[in-house]
Amino acid sequence: MNKVIIAVVILLHINLCTAQLQKAEKLFKKNDYLAAASLYEDLYKKSESKEYLKKLVLAYYNTLNFEQGLEKSQLLFEDITDENTIEREYYFLHLHFLSIAKNYKEAIAYRNKYYSILGLKTIEEEEALSHIDQWRIDDGLNSIQEVNFNSESSDFSAIRKLDKIYFVSDREQTKYSNKYKWTQRPFLDIFSIEVDSVGKGIDKPISFSDVLNTKFHEGSFCFDNQGTTIYFTQSEQSKGKLVLSSSRQNRVKLYRSKKNKMGVWSSAIMLPFCNDSANYEHPSLNKEGTRLYFASDRSDSLGSFDIYYVDIDSIGNFGSVKNAGNRINTINREQFPFISEEDNLYFSSNGHLGLGMLDIFVSSINEDGSFDKPENLKAPFNSAYDDFSFSLSGEMNGFFSSNRNANNDNIYAFKKTQTNQKYLVTISFKDKEQEQYLRDTNVEILDEGGTVILSKTFIEDGNLVIELEKGSYKINTSSPSYIPAVFKFDVSKKQNDFTFFLEISSEIKEIIKGKQPVSQDVVRSLIRDKTEPKILARAGKLYFELPRIHFEFNQSRLTEYSQGILDKLIDKLKKYPSLEITVNSHTDLNGSKAFNQQLSDRRAKTTSDYLINTGGIAAERISAVGHGMMKPIVDCETNKCTKEMHLKNRRSEFEITSF
């Protein structure tokens, strides 16, 4: 009798567990994760099956119960002898649970395991942790605070238009009482609220439109510039009922509505490219109204949801849908695109390396339509939790959403605390004809108000790098043997690399006029050459500019100092073997003409001999002429010359006679 009773009890227990499992699976398939989790918890206590743990991990992840999710995920990975028994998605979920717990070192390890399973490139742990450490630091350039119209429900996707803020929420309302099984809260709707001059909500939020809000989901949205066209996310429905796929899932699609002169919105029309089995959501329109960005899990996505875009012509027709590509999209989830007036694409991703869950990223769009590598927006925008729905209201203010402080989404307003972001600006100067970098460029940069913010001589070949705020600037430039010029330039995130071209001086142009191109190139190279001695143009001729050549008093013997100067000239003549020069020696006006003529002849010859005999320069390339006192710079016959004036007259000149 006892055996029969025991058998009956066991059979009842088995039947009870089977019924409980069937109910849990049914609830799970319907996305009723809260109710399903309660049943799976009971089932796990009875059998400790890892299959039940997997269901609990997914349920807690989807209901934002991260503490319980981490606990069950750790149990799932305990005592694993064969990692292949755990599907790859659980590695992905576990790394995010670990990130929320600030255990980034272990999170990176699981991230690399996840990528290894997929056969994708992993990241160096030290590099990843270095990035994360930087992104966690709040640089104080932005202040954030929760808006005063957040509720205990989920509030997100805020956009400001004039004196109103529009947003999405699943807060309680009187019109519809049906609940969304996933959250056990009302379906999402679009709301609006009037705000004061500082963006603080006045009174209570109201339904955006009774025409567009239905008893099912209305989600993220965007307006055109005039505010007369809205693109928004909505549950696919027909005649008041959800349209279900073959797998009994409802999809969300993109819809468009226009407002008439009476301020009434037209019935929503699904966008024509949304007619497949995929989800389409989170629209964002560029400022010209010619391109719509959105997220979708189309069949050509790289993984889960990707960012896409579609062009719109002047009459509202749509082009072909294009994937934003693998610089933006990953094998995981990219959603909530926002396109700024400067064509910067903001979006959220849990596939790019971040602080955990969804992080907000930004990518500049180039003129050719390509995307720059996305940058993590860092703290305070990003946290270890979901951060998403970024939008700008002007250049200084905006909104984003996060569940960092609760198990629901809240809207945060942000304000930039500095008037202008600084950019690292690169400025180059080149020869207009040869496009070669110039040396010795004198630079004076002025801001819009005419204040000089930089004055320096840019000597090195290459680039002048300076930090400048966004704005308009003027640059005054001059370079030896080039015509001084004034340029204007505007600094922004999209434009911070500038090249300016200078024209060679008219005197140099005249000197090289009619010469062979190869000879002209030699002169241009000499002008750009930053090594000593430099060249200069004077009275229609070219000279090497050398310090004063010294001789022993009343002698023609070179001093050791002067030999060092001539050694540099020798190097230059060897570098440019086509050059021929004449050494012109001059004396001051002291003494007789005959004596000074002989002295200048000896000094010119001594100089040329040094270049030829010591320097190894071919004799046919060097000429020597003594001028005595016949060509003074300062006329001492009409001026009573000082010692300094006599010094000016006592000189050696190195004229370039052939190039």
Q: What is the DSSP secondary-structure string of 599-655? A: HHHHHHHHHHHIIIIIT---GGGEEEEEEETSS-SS-TTTS---HHHHHHHSEEEEE
C-alpha–C-alpha distance, residues 606 and 619, integer Å: 13
C-alpha–C-alpha distance, residues 643 and 654, integer Å: 23
pLDDT confidence bin for 185, thresholds 50/70/90? confident
Kindly state which CATH superfamily the domain 422-504 is placed in. Answer: Immunoglobulins (2.60.40.10)
CA of 5: how far to CAs of 2, 8, 17, in Å?
A: 5, 5, 18
Secondary structure class of 313 (helix, strand, coil): coil
Q: Which residues pair with 191 in a beta bridge?
A: 167, 207
- Percentage of the chain modeled with pLDDT above 90: 47
pLDDT tens sequence across 144-181:
999 999 999 999 999 999 889 999 999 987 677 788 87
pLDDT tens sequence across 281-311:
999 999 999 999 999 999 999 989 999 999 9
Alpha helices by DSSP H, 335-425:
none
Average the pLDDT over 370-397 and give the result. 93
C-alpha–C-alpha distance, residues 641 and 646, integer Å: 6
Q: Which residues pair with 195 in a beta bridge?
A: 201
Instruction: Retrieve residue 462's tokens.
Output: 């290459």
From the options 1.25.40.10, 1.10.10.10, 3.90.550.10, 2.60.120.560, give the CATH code of 2-135: 1.25.40.10
Q: What is the pLDDT of residue 7?
A: 44
pLDDT confidence bin for 340, thresholds 50/70/90? very high
Nearest CA to 387 among 338, 336, 352?
336
Contact 366, 388 (CB under 8 A): no
pLDDT tens sequence across 203-239:
899 999 999 999 999 999 999 999 999 999 999 998 8
Contact 620, 611 (CB under 8 A): no
Q: Is residue 451 predicted with pLDDT exceeding 50?
A: yes
Between strands 164-169 and 201-207, the pairing is unpaired
Between strands 452-458 and 441-446, the pairing is antiparallel
Q: Where are the domains of the chain?
A: 2-135, 151-416, 422-504, 507-658
H/E stretch holding 26 = helix 2-29
Among 72-86, 293-307, 312-326, name the one with the lowest average pLDDT.
Answer: 72-86
Secondary structure class of 455 (helix, strand, coil): strand
The angle formed by the CA atoms of residues 108, 113 and 119, to the nearest 5 degrees, is 125
Q: What is the pLDDT of residue 208?
A: 93
Half-sphere exposure of residue 27, counting CA atoms within 13 Å on the CB side?
22
pLDDT tens sequence across 94-113:
999 999 999 999 999 999 99
Instruction: Retrieve residue 397's tokens.
Output: 């203010």
Instruction: Decide if 2-135 and 422-504 have a common fold.
Output: no
Architecture of domain 151-416: 6 Propeller (2.120)
Contact 541, 572 (CB under 8 A): no
C-alpha–C-alpha distance, residues 541 and 656, integer Å: 8
Nearest CA to 158 among 222, 108, 211?
222
pLDDT tens sequence across 48-60:
888 898 899 899 9
Average the pLDDT over 184-189 and give the result. 89
C-alpha–C-alpha distance, residues 360 and 507, integer Å: 57
What spatial distance separates the first Cα and last Cα of the chain, rounded to whole Å?
A: 122
C-alpha–C-alpha distance, residues 634 and 616, integer Å: 35
From the options 3.40.50.1220, 3.40.50.620, 3.90.1150.10, 3.30.1330.60, give the CATH code of 507-658: 3.30.1330.60
Residue 564, judged by CB atoms within 10 A of its CB (0-12, 13-18, 19+), counts as exposed
